[in-house]
Structure formats: C-alpha cells, structure tokens
Amino acid sequence: MIAGLGAVVFYDALRLATYVFLQLIAGYHVPSPISEGGGVASAHFARPWAIPLVACGGALLGALLVFSIAPEAEGHGTDAAIDAVHHNPRGVRLRTVFVKIVASALTIGSGGSGGREGPTGQISAGFGSLLARTFDLSPEDARITVASGIGSGIGAIFGAPLGGAVLATEILYRDDFEVEALLPAFIASIVGYTVWGSFEGFGPLFGFVGNYRLTSATPLLWFALIGVLGGLVGLLYAKGFYGMVDAFARLPLPRWVRPAIGGAIVGCIALAIPEVLGTGYGWIQQSLGTHLLQIPLWIVLILPFARIATTGLSIGSGGSGGIFGPGMVIGAFVGAGVWRLLEPVVPSLGHDPAPYVIVGMMACFGSISRAPLAVMLMVAEMTGTLSLIVPAMLAVGLATLIVRRSDDTIYRSQLKSRAESPAHRILSGLPLLARVPVADAMVPARCVLVEPSDGDAFVRELEECGESAAPLTDSSGHYLGVVTLDALRERTSRHVEGVSDVPVDVTVAPVYMDVHLDVVLDILTSTPQTWATVIDAQRRVVGTVALSDIVQNYQRTARNYLRQLSEKGGATGLVEVVIADDSTYVGVPLRSSSIPRGVLITSIERGRDVIRPNGDTVLRARDRVTALGASQGLQQLARSSTMRGG
C-alpha cells in the first residue's frame, strides 16, 4: 500500500516540479511516454539562458534540503536501500523518505538526469524499516520486508509488478537470489501496482509496442551485436558514474555546492543536447517508432555517452535521483543507434526500430545492474510485449557475460552471493545456535536507564557503571530504546535541556527471551550492534546478550554435543589444546601443517577472538584449538601442539 501511494506522491511531485521549472520558468516542454499523455518535445528553447540556471537552482535546493536534514538521502537511493537489507534493515529513518521525495523531485524536475525508481524504492524500503522497528520483526523478516519494499516501489512506478517482485530478490546480489523474499515480494508488488494503477492508470509505461515475430535466425546476429555493445556501454556507465562520484568527492567545496555545479553543467550540455534533461522516458517513446528518424543521427549516437556524463553530474555530484531510468535511456539508444546505422544497408533488420530499442534497454541495464532476469521482465511489462524474449535472452546473456568478467556493477552495495551475506554466512557455519535459547546465554543488564530523568543523570549512571550505552525503559520497566554516552555528551555540548530531548535510538533491535541464539547473532551481524537488550513478552528488560556471550555459550553447547557423540561412538572425541611456543604448528597454514588425518579443527580462540579456521589460517603460539576426530589422531595432535618434532 505504501509503495503504491509513495509512487503516486513522488510521481505527482516530480510532474509538478517539471512543470514549474522547465515549462513555466524555462519555457521548454519535455516529451512524455504514451501512458503519461505522449507529449512531444518543444521544437526549441523559449528562454535558453534559463536552462542552466533552472538546472543549477533545482539541484541546489535539493542539496540544501538533503544535507541539512537527512544526508543519507544523497545519491540514487537504491544502493542505500540494498545496504540496509544486508546490514541494518531497521535503520532507515522515516525522515529520509520525505526528504528523498522532495529533493529528487527538485533535482530531476529542474532537468537533472535521473530516474524515479531510486526515490520510490527508498520510500517503501523506509516504511518497511519502520514496520520492522514497530513490530520488532525478526532479522530475517526485516530483511524480507525492506527488500519487498524496494521491488514493490520500483515495480509500481514503472507499471511492472512481476519485474519489480523479481527485482526484490535479484538486486541484492551480483550472482545470486534472495529466494525467501520472492513470494512476499509478489504480494507486495501487485498490491503496490494496484494502488498506483487506481490513481495513474494500468497501461504499460510505453504502451503496447508491436508484436515482433522471429521468422529466421539471421536477425539474432544483430541482437547479439546489441548484447555485446550493451554490456560494454553498461560497463562504461558504471565506471563513468563512479568516476564522477570520486571526482566530485575530491572537490574542496561544501557538499551542498557540488550538485549545483553539476546541475549548471548539465543545463549547458542540454542547450546542445536537450535529450539529456529529466528522466528521458519521453525520448525512449520517440525512439520506439518512426519518430526516431526525425532525431539527428549524431544525437542518437552520442546520447548514451551524454546520458552517462549528465547522470554522473546530476546524481554522482550528490544530487538525489535514480540511476535505473538513465540506464534505460542509455540502453534504448544503443539499440536505436544500431538500427539507424544498419537499417539502410541490411534489409533483414526490418523497418521497425522498436525491437532493437527494447532489447537494448534489457541488455545494457540488465547486465550492469546484475539483475538480468528482473530487468528483462520489467522492460517487457513496460512495453506490453513478451514476443522479444528469445532475442532478448541472447542479448542479455552476452551482455551479462561481458559484465561478469569485470565483476563490476552499478549498485556497489550488492554482495556477490548469499555466502557473503553476514547473516547467511555465519548462521550456516554455526547450526547449533538454533538449538540454544537466548535465556541460556543472557546476563543481567549492568545498567538500565529509567524515565523520567534528565540527560546529566543518565551520563552519571553510565559513567558509574563503566558502560558506553544502556537500554532505556519507562517507569514500568518497558523497553523504549538505547541511549549512548556519546549522544548524551553531544546533547550536553549543545546545551539542550529537558527530558524529552534525551537522544533515544529506537532503531536498536531488542530480542525476546524465548528466541534462539541464531536470531540474536543474525541481529548482531546485520546491524552495527555488538549487544542486544533481552525483553520478555511484556517488553520488560530482563538482561542483555553480547557476541562474547554467544561465543561462550556456543562453545559450551558444541562441547556437550561432541562429548555425547564421543560417548555414543567410542572411536571419536573432542580435545582442546593450547599451541606451545615451540610447536611444529606455529606459523604454518593449516593446509600445509602435519595435522593428523581425520582430525577436524573446529575453532581457534586467540585472545578474545574466536576464529573460524580454513586452509589458509596460520596458527600462532598460545592459540587455544578445539578439534574433533578419532582418539588416536587427537592424541597425536595434543603431542605435536606442545613440543617441537612431536
């Protein structure tokens, strides 16, 4: 529901900003796709001098709003939402949502080269984060909620619910899927699309574009060419965009000034190439039919590169907007350029540019976003046709192979696979955590702050306890959030007075005492937290649990299970040894050491750290090693750990 409503609100805000900045002030009409009226572009600029001023002014207003209220709203938004799924699904602040709507409307509506998917994805992801905080969702459910928000928001504003749902599972990784999110994303996406369509209509964004029929294998050669070019241009898009990001980051200027500079340059480029203004969806519409022939050839050929540059100037400078939309324009004109160049000399190409434009969109952005299936489906829904799936599979496959060889992506918060996800990686390696309730590992809270009180009293309590943070409760003992010593001191330095101004972090996730340690570890590895407050069913604080508590309890549980196995099997057992200074194992990687055959090193304690060993792990003197294996091998390991040449 929120994804659909957020998409409507942002779309109307963007349409209003475009009308005010470009139409009223600058006297220029940008073209629009058929679902939005199919308007054509102005033949010339009524007030050319106003274009750079408008683009600069809109970017400046958006930047001032972002950097004064919610700096995390900077940039294209989708990366921030992906990062939230992996590392802190409860941490997207609600103010970010509102700032993103207004700032993106100002930036894109004044002519900035950006898309509208980033803001809408962040809107629904932010609301998903709010739900996770409000209902204390488990880490897994919180991740699925935020991921579904991303997909449903993008699917709604593009009128592509199926593609949006698949995008929710595919966009999180470069080479993997978050399969658990698929069914929830289906439901969220279709509801979001229904809300959007009830306000804005249910037709495809670019209308129903033809009904292509593949009658011979020859045209597949040209689609393959588009695939290769799409992959190469996609790589150029990613490298060019982040090159701009790095270049602007090095400028010795305030962050809010940089988007204004980028906007002014975009406005100057637009005087020669007006196709770089705004979202560019209207120009995609023009390229899908015979209107493409009315666009000068040099514009068709240069537009992909001009869009790469202007998107970097608009969004890479710190402006607010999406990079999905510009990727669609870039890919569309890669396909359009191939058709314009070859159509006069290759009869088999046909007289309709639409198939090549559509496949160009799929190949270019599907490859560099590392979400080829989702983008294929979305573009198919946006153009109302599935008849291009066969040539699209060829083009997208080739483009994706090219991009994968460089291991690059337009979304840098993507992880390579689920194996790199903090939650999936650790939980798969520590299965016994799912058997241990948190009540067995928690400890009494060393410090609990109770309202009503003032910040100075809280500072004294924390300092007396020697803690840097503590849970805050109301007078009845119900959990409210976490208060940190740093936040209290910062408040004091600003001379803020009053109980209501005590800084409470409500994004810090508590855990219920009836959950198991796998849920706790999931929270502590997917958020910045190093400990969690344990609460009962009435949300009263009953203790705390930290990573060290989990490690100690896990070791104790593992020993118990292994001893039980040893007692039952007789031939296997568990041993703990401390590596001596003169042991043959010191300084040698495990794969190269003389560890007896059939002995498995399960954990290594090094000081206060617990290391999960692999073949490259190098043992040090005084490491405490836990090993499982046959009794004879364990005896040999114990001897070799304590003496040289043993």
Tell me the CA distances in angstroms from 627 to 315, 600, 635, one per residue in order: 53, 5, 11
Angle at 175 between CA 170 and CA 178, to 5 degrees: 40
Pairing of strands 469-473, 449-450: parallel
- DSSP H helices, 468-516, are 485-493
CA distance 32 to 30: 7
Interior/surface letters 49-66, b for 16+ CB within 10 angstroms, e for the rest: ebbbbbbbbbbbbbbbbb
365 and 476 fall within a common domain:
no
Secondary structure class of 200 (helix, strand, coil)? helix
Cis-peptide, bond into residue 452, ω within 30° of zero: yes
CA distance 422 to 297: 49
Residue 558 domain-assigned (yes or no): no
Strand 541-546: give its sheet, edge to edge.
511-512, 531-535, 541-546
Given 373, 406, 439, the domain boundary residue is: 406
Residue 543 domain-assigned (yes or no): yes
221 and 196 fall within a common domain:
yes
Residue 319 domain-assigned (yes or no): yes
Which of these, 483, 485, 406, 487, lies nearest to 448 by C-alpha position? 483
Given 377, 406, 435, the domain boundary residue is: 406
119 and 253 fall within a common domain:
yes
8 A C-beta contact, residue 562 and residue 595: no
433 and 466 fall within a common domain:
yes
Given 375, 406, 437, the domain boundary residue is: 406
141 and 189 fall within a common domain:
yes
Residue 411 domain-assigned (yes or no): no
8 A C-beta contact, residue 646 and residue 640: yes
CB atoms within 10 A of CB 187: 12
**Would the CA dihedral through 407, 409, 415, 416 be positive or negative?**
negative
CA distance 442 to 57: 55
Pairing of strands 469-473, 479-484: antiparallel
Query: Alpha carbon 332 to chain centroid distance?
Result: 25
Number of domains in the chain: 3
Query: Alpha carbon 484 to chain centroid distance?
Result: 27
Residue 386 domain-assigned (yes or no): yes
CA distance 58 to 327: 22
Q: Is 350 left (phi over 0), alpha (psi -120 to 50) or beta?
A: left
* CATH number where 477 lies: 3.10.580.10
323 and 190 fall within a common domain:
yes
| E-assigned strand segments in 183-259 | none
Tell me the CA distances in angstroms from 212 to 228, 294, 396, one per residue in order: 21, 23, 17
Could you read off the pLDDT of 47-57 as tens digits, one per residue?
999 999 999 99
Residue 292 domain-assigned (yes or no): yes
Residue 560 domain-assigned (yes or no): no
* DSSP conformation class of 90: T
**Would the CA dihedral through 432, 438, 443, 446 be positive or negative?**
positive
Residue 250's Cβ-count burial label (10 Å; 0-12, 13-18, 19+) is exposed
8 A C-beta contact, residue 320 and residue 79: no
**Would the CA dihedral through 360, 363, 366, 370 be positive or negative?**
negative
Could you read off the pLDDT of 579-637 as tens digits, one per residue?
888 888 888 888 878 888 778 887 788 876 777 787 888 888 888 888 877 777 777 88
- Which residues contact residue 557 at a Cβ distance below 8 angstroms, ignoring those fewer than 6 apart? 432, 435, 436
Residue 417 domain-assigned (yes or no): no
Residue 351's Cβ-count burial label (10 Å; 0-12, 13-18, 19+) is exposed
* DSSP conformation class of 516: B
Give me the domain span that covers residue 333. Answer: 2-406
Tell me the CA distances in angstroms from 366 to 372, 494, 592, one per residue in order: 4, 48, 43
- One-letter identity of residue 145: T
* CATH number where 629 lies: 3.30.70.1450
CA distance 620 to 574: 21
Q: What is the residue-wise DSSP string for 252-274?
A: SS-TTTHHHHHHHHHHHHHHH-G
Secondary structure class of 551 (helix, strand, coil)? helix
* CATH number where 76 lies: 1.10.3080.10
432 and 500 fall within a common domain:
yes
Tell me the CA distances in angstroms from 279 to 30, 155, 584, one per residue in order: 9, 16, 65
611 and 519 fall within a common domain:
no
CA distance 319 to 584: 58
201 and 344 fall within a common domain:
yes
537 and 584 fall within a common domain:
no
* DSSP conformation class of 435: G
List, in sequence order, every residue forming a beta bridge with 610; answer none if it has no partner.
Answer: 605
Q: Is 223 left (phi over 0), alpha (psi -120 to 50) or beta?
A: alpha
105 and 180 fall within a common domain:
yes
481 and 626 fall within a common domain:
no
CB atoms within 10 A of CB 252: 4
Residue 591's Cβ-count burial label (10 Å; 0-12, 13-18, 19+) is exposed
8 A C-beta contact, residue 618 and residue 591: no
**Stretch (H or E) spanning 529:** none
Task: Provide block-wise average pLDDT over 10 residues at a time, the chain (646 residues).
Answer: 92 95 94 91 92 96 91 80 85 84 94 88 86 84 91 92 95 91 94 94 90 86 96 96 94 93 96 95 93 93 97 93 93 96 88 94 96 95 91 96 92 86 64 77 87 81 86 88 84 53 80 84 76 89 85 71 59 74 84 79 77 82 82 77 53
- Which residues contact residue 66 at a Cβ distance below 8 angstroms, ignoring those fewer than 6 apart? 73, 74, 99, 103, 256, 318, 320
8 A C-beta contact, residue 10 and residue 120: yes
